Every structure is written in C-alpha cells, then in structure tokens.
Amino acid sequence: MDLSRRTFIKFAGAAGAAGLAAKPARAEASALRTVNTPAVLVDTTRCVGCRGCEAACGESNLLPPPAQPGSDAVFSTPRRTDPSTYTVVNRAAASSKEGDVRYVKRQCMHCLDPACASACLAKALEKTAAGPVVYHKERCLGCRYCMVACQFDVPKFDFDSPAPYIHKCTFCAERQAQGLQPACASVCPTGALQFGHREELLEEARTRIYQNAGKYVHQVYGEFEAGGTSWLYITDVPFDKLGFRTDLGPTSPPELTRTALAAVPFVLTLWPPLLMGLYTFSKRRAEASKSGEKEAHHD
Amino acid sequence: MTDTTLDRGGFDVRSFIRDKIFLGMSLGEYFRSLLTPGNAVFALILIVGVPIIVYRFAFGIGASSHLTQMNPWGIWIGLDVMSGVALAAGGFTVATAVYVLGLKEYHPIVRPAVLTGFLGYLFVVIGLCADLGRPWKLPVPMAYSFGTGSVMFEVGWCVCLYLIVLALEFSPAAFEWLGLRKAREWAIRMTLALTILGLCLSTLHQSSLGALFLMMPHRLHPLWYSGFVPIFFFVSAIIAGLSMVIVESGLSHRVFKDQVDPKDHGKLDKLTLGLARGAAVVLFAYFFLKLQGLVDSGRFDLLLTPYGYWFLFEMLGFILIPSFLYAIAVRRQNATLARWVAGWTVLGIVVNRLNLSVIAFNWNAPERYVPGFMEIMISVTIITIGIMTFRWIVNRMPVLREDPSYPQH
C-alpha cells in the first residue's frame, strides 16, 4: 500500500471527525496513540532465522519448547502461532533464486487501537496504558470474537479444552513493568529485533530506509496499518511476499463500529416518544371511527 | 376437570399435575398419548443429540466441531445465533402492529408470535452456550466487567433484556393457565410499555448483530461487507419476523387444529395475506437497500465470479422474486402461495445470515470450514427441543385460543 501525504491527511482528518462524534472513546485511544509507547522494530534484512526469540519466548511465558529446535526442516511450511506458541519465525522466498530467503518473526502486533480489545464484551483483552495488549483470563467467555476481529489472526483458542482460554503474545508486559525488554528482543543476536520507543524506532526505520538507497521497501509496516501497531517491520522484499496482509488500510478497526455504537442513545431516546405518538394516533383514529359508526347508526 | 383444585380451597398437587401437566389424563394415558410417529422422530434426534451435547462439554469444542484457529466461528454462530435471532423477530413485529399501531385484527396471532419469539431467544441463548468456551462466565459482562466499546456487549445486554421482556409479554398466558388472576392483570397492564421497550431492544440488537461484521472488512467478501450491514440486518429481521409468523401460524393451525377457536379458523387466510402484503413491501425496500450497498462498495467487477453468482442468487432468488410472489399472492388472495413464499423467504434469511457468518466469511482464507456431523447434530437437537417446548406450551396454555374466562385485552 502506498501512503501518500494525502492519504495521511485524509486519515488524520477522519480521525479528527470521528473524535468529535465519540469523544470519550476517542480521547482514550488518541492518548494511547500519542504516548511514546514501547515498540519493537523488526528489520527482516538482519534476521538469520536462528529462532532464539522463539526459545526465549517459550521460556519466559512457561510454554513448551519450540518445535524441532535447531532443525532447518521447520521452515519447510509457514507456521502460525497457536495456544502454546506465541511467536514463530517463518522463511519466505525473496526471489526465484535458490537460497534467496528472508526470515520473518510473527507475533501479536500490539495495535495502538486494537480490534480484539474493542471486540471483547468482558474486557478480557485490554490495551494497557503502558502499551501491551494483555489478556485477563478470568473474565473471558470464550466467544472468540477477538479471533475473528483481529486482522493479524493473532488470538488463539484452546480448542482441545473443555475450559478453554485465549492465548497470545503478551509483549512480556510483566518484564516491561520491571524495566526489562521483551524476552524475544533481549536475546536477538543480530539486532533484527530492536526494542524502544515507537517514535524513535520510526525515526530509526526511516533513517535506515533513506541511508541505504534502493535497499529497503519504502514502507514501515505497522506505522499506519489498522490504525498503527507497536511492532514495526522494514524489509527489502515486498511485504506480501513475506506473508503480510497489505490490504488493511489505515483505519483502526474499532473506528468502524463506533458509528453503530453511537446510534444506541438515539434509538433509546427517539423510539419511545415516536411510538407513543403512533399509539396515541392509532387510538384516536380507532375511537373516531367507532363514534363515526355510532353516529351512522343513529342516522 | 377445568374447575381446578384452587376453587375448592386447598391446593392438591396431584390433581394440579394431572390437569395442568398431563392434560387431564392419568400418567399411563398421558404416556400412551405420546406414542406417535412424530414423537418417534423427536426421540431419535434426542437419543443421538443429547449424548453429543454432553460430549461437547466433556471434551471441548475442538473434539465436537470442525472449528479451527483459522475458522473460529461456524454454524453455531451462523445458524443458532444469527439466524435464530432474526427468525425470532416475529414477537416484536406483531406486538408493535397490534399494541402500538392498533391493528387489532392481528390479535389472534400475537400470543403465538410472542411465544415463538421468547422460545427463539431462549434457545438462541442455549445454543450460544454450546458455542461459548466458558458459558459459565456469562455473568461477567452483565455484572462487573463492562466492555462498553464492544458491539458484542450491546448484543449481549439487549438479548438478555429482551428475553426478560418477552417472558413478561408472554406471562399473561402462563398466568391464565395457572389461574393467577391478579398477576395476569398486572402483566396485562405492562403490555404497551413492554412492546415499546421490546421494539427499542430489537432495533438495537438486530442491527448490532450485523454491526459485529463492521470490524471485519478483512474477513468478509466485499459483496457482503458494507457499512450498511446493521441496517440490512434490522430490515431483514422484520421480513424474517413477518415470514416466520406466516409459516408458524400456518403450521400451528394444521398441527394444533383442535386448539384453535373454531371462529378463528376462517380468519387465518386473511391475516396471512395481510402479513404477506407487509412482507412484500419490506422485501422490496430491502432489495433496494442491498442495491445501494452494492453501489456503495463499487465492486461490480466481483459479480462475475462464483461468489458474485451466489450474491446475485441471493439478491434475486431470495429477495426480489419472493417480493413479487408475495405481491401476487396478495393480489390473487392466495394464502397458500403466501405460505410457500414465506417458507422460501425464511430460508433466504437463513442463507443471508450463513453467508455473512460462514460462507462469505473467511472467503480468502487458505482453509475452508465445513460443519461437522456433531456440530450439525447439536444445532438440530437444540432446535428440536425448542419445537417440543413450543408444542408443550401450546397444548396447555391459551396461545392459539382464548381462555373464555378472561376478557380479551
């Protein structure tokens, strides 16, 4: 997707207009957006597919160890995250040339205005002020609306359990609260994962793109996608080749439902008087026709 | 037999059970009366279905369905919830017509429509419990953790409140059955307020079921994705309600012939054609609303794809043609035709809800979802129990007939 200045202005304008319509919700979301939220910059040109991040994630989140450690066979088909795997590194062919491959780590994108959190009717998924999108398991009904709402197919469900939960990357919220980096970023040996503040990482990403003329695709994935995410990606091959959805657009998903939710007070305040009016009208008409009949009888 | 124990002063449990539950028969007679071919079919469904429901709760959703991480929603959402709620819309549609708009001639079908609505919603909630991973957590969003920014929160609250409203709207019939005059009077006094509240809640949750999909342009086929989806859902719910009332009243008059007041026998055709007239108009309007959605999306290019043909089939086969057929039925005063069209329209609404939530949903995902046998069987079993409950109530309470000892309200 190419993001011209015009699209950006349009996006900013739309966000402003929506802000007028739904003030409290918008204020909350935009506050999150302007806060210099924690983020990770993923430079796919630097990733060598060592999967150290997978191992660190499993260890930190008390998950089983990653599949086929040390084996190259694990890359033969792209993997997805699941209830016991919060992050995966996949391999994608960058061109038809043999061995010309890129590795891409996938996990929850920790959107700035996440679909999952706005989908959840019980606030089991929540965008915290600190940045990470966290899951409160004790509130979850298991409705799986978060799964279908997420554009990145991130929340995963214990389909095998009679008392299932949702599972996804936590952005190591607890580690972050202690001033530590997320486990995955802390072990990356090549600097492919860089933890920091979102604004600074965006600067860093742009700097890399501009200083390496012709190397990178001129896009920071996650800067605008689905309203912006805390995980940002840069790459030297088109994003769709790496398995990213490039059709998401800059609107944050909750924005799409805000007009529908804004209709609630209108229905509740306008329907009753309108219906009472109709009721009175129909009653009068019935009485009038009744007395009309009577008069007709008298004649 | 009808002058119950209550009139004789003391309360006799045995004769209460005999009169009110066993229809005045002894236990043996009652069970013998249940031995019919229809009940054999019901019994077969329950014998297969109930153990599967137990299996679902013992071993989880994965073991009993074809739902996956890529396709987490299936027919439990598409059929039991999405279609169920639409088809239960007859309650608010007919109640509004009779109590607000003053169309008194439809009074004989208010109670069956409200009962269909109440049981429809009740079994939607029961079906939902099969789909929810942790149904025992249902009180969470109702009592202390309010996800007010969620459309699902609105759906949940409206459905819960509307279920209570429908129970109260139906309660006069239950009170008449139990001989509780005072309670019945109170319930009747609330009718207008309940009807208005019911319409408010129906407007909100029928449309917000559609609004659930607003957040999923990435998942829903562009021909079905539209910013107008909430409006489509509300308008088509009215169609579903009217058509379902036609189907249900037609079947009821056949199945429960002895229940219907003989003086009402001739009335049904006229009422059916009146409802058909309404359905024809709303269907026609719905067709143009959908057309606006198509123009708005601007995706005419997709019409000449397999999904496009299916979309066109829905637009013409399930909306435009039934609209004309309804009109023809009204014009020729052909209630039988209206009933067939109503059945077809009901099917069309189910197809529409399945299109949104299953067929055109995840259309671009690498794996397709096809419901499994156990999944279908759980839905069929829940629907069957719903029908059996409807029959149980109609056979006992004044639903299709009026209780002569109570004045009409």
Residue of B nearest to A164 (CA): B133
Looking at residues A132-160, what average pLDDT do you find? Answer: 96
Q: Which of A82, A136, A254 sits opposite B69 (nearest CB)?
A: A82
Residue B4: predicted pLDDT:
46
Residue A3: predicted pLDDT:
44
Say whether pLDDT at A80 is over 60.
Answer: yes
pLDDT tens string B221-231: 999 999 999 99
Say whether pLDDT at A64 is over 70.
Answer: yes
pLDDT tens string B150-205: 999 999 999 999 999 999 999 999 999 999 999 999 999 999 999 999 999 999 99
The answer to whether the Cα torsion of B300, B305, B306, B307 is positive or negative is: negative
pLDDT tens string B99-137: 999 999 999 999 999 999 999 999 999 999 999 999 999
Could A279 and B100 be called an inter-chain contact, meaning their C-beta atoms sit closer than 8 Å? yes
Looking at residues B77-89, what average pLDDT do you find? Answer: 96
What is the C-alpha to C-alpha distance for residues A80 and B367, in angstroms, rounded to an integer? 13
What is the C-alpha to C-alpha distance for residues A53 and B170, in angstroms, rounded to an integer? 60
Residue A17: predicted pLDDT:
43
Q: What are phi and psi of B325, to 5 degrees?
A: -65, -40
Cα distances (angstroms) measured from residue B270 to each of A105, A123, B59, B264, B313: 67, 50, 51, 11, 31
Which residue in this structure is represented by tokens 């402003």?
A16
Residue B109: predicted pLDDT:
92
Q: Which of A164, A254, A267 sits opposite B204 (nearest CB)?
A: A267
Q: Which of residues 270-289 of A touch B (CB under 8 A)?
A: 271-272, 275-276, 278-279, 282-283, 285-286
Residue A298: predicted pLDDT:
57
E strand or H helix at A38, and its extent?
Answer: strand A38-43
Residue B23: predicted pLDDT:
85
Q: How far is B92 from chain A (nearest CA, A)?
A: 13
pLDDT tens string A158-210: 999 999 999 999 999 999 999 999 999 999 999 999 999 999 999 999 999 99
Nearest C-alpha neighbor of A202 from the set A182, A175, A230 = A230
Angle between helices B191-211 and B229-255 (to 10 degrees): 120
Where residue A296 falls among pLDDT bands split at 50, 70, 90? low
Looking at residues B50-70, what average pLDDT do you find? Answer: 96
Share of chain B above pLDDT 70, in %: 97
Residue A31: predicted pLDDT:
47
Say whether pLDDT at A121 is over 60.
Answer: yes
| Alpha-carbon radius of gyration of chain B | 22
Q: Which of residues 219-238 of A touch B (CB under 8 A)?
A: none
Classified as helix, coil or strand, A1 is coil
A129 interfaces chain B, CB cutoff of 8 Å: no
Say whether pLDDT at A14 is over 70.
Answer: no
Say whether pLDDT at A8 is over 80.
Answer: no
Q: Which of B154, B200, B218 sits opposite A272 (nearest CB)?
A: B200
Q: Which amino acid is at B119?
A: L
In this structure, of A16-30, B96-110, B266-280, B387-401, the range with the lowest mean pLDDT score is A16-30
Across chain B, mean pLDDT equals 93
Say whether pLDDT at B294 is over 70.
Answer: yes
Say whether pLDDT at B18 is over 90.
Answer: no
Q: Do residues B112 and B400 make contact, with C-beta atoms less than 8 angstroms apart?
A: yes
DSSP 8-class letter at B79: I
- Residue B151: list chain A partners with CB under 8 A: 119, 257, 260-261
A·B CB contacts under 8 A = 166
Q: Which two tokens stand for residue B131?
A: 């789909």
Looking at residues A87-106, what average pLDDT do you find? Answer: 93
Say whether pLDDT at B355 is over 90.
Answer: yes
Q: How far is B23 from chain A (nearest CA, A)?
A: 39
A79 interfaces chain B, CB cutoff of 8 Å: no
Q: Which of A284-288, B325-329, B403-407 has the highest mean pLDDT?
A: B325-329
Could A271 and B199 be called an inter-chain contact, meaning their C-beta atoms sit closer than 8 Å? yes
- Residue A144: list chain B partners with CB under 8 A: 72-73, 133
Could B151 and A257 be called an inter-chain contact, meaning their C-beta atoms sit closer than 8 Å? yes
Residue A33: predicted pLDDT:
53
Could B102 and A285 be called an inter-chain contact, meaning their C-beta atoms sit closer than 8 Å? yes
pLDDT tens string B364-404: 988 999 999 999 999 999 999 999 999 999 999 999 988 88
A41 vs B11, residue with greater confidence: A41
DSSP 8-class letter at A164: -
Could B145 and A118 be called an inter-chain contact, meaning their C-beta atoms sit closer than 8 Å? no
What is the C-alpha to C-alpha distance for residues A54 and A195, in angstroms, rounded to an integer? 16
In this structure, of A110-124, B23-37, B143-157, the range with the lowest mean pLDDT score is B23-37
- Strands in A38-43's sheet, in edge-to-edge order, are A193-197, A38-43, A231-234
Where residue A297 falls among pLDDT bands split at 50, 70, 90? low
Q: Do residues B94 and B113 make contact, with C-beta atoms less than 8 angstroms apart?
A: yes
Burial class (CB in 10 A: 0-12, 13-18, 19+), B308: middle
Which residue in this structure is represented by tokens 């007028």?
A20
| Sequence-distant contacts of B22-31: CB under 8 A, at least 24 apart | B23/B395, B23/B396
Sequence-distant (6+) residues with CB within 8 A of A150 are: A114, A115, A116
Where residue A291 falls among pLDDT bands split at 50, 70, 90? confident
Residue B68: predicted pLDDT:
96
Residue A35: predicted pLDDT:
55
Cα distances (angstroms) measured from residue A125 to each of A109, A168, B52, B95: 14, 10, 31, 39
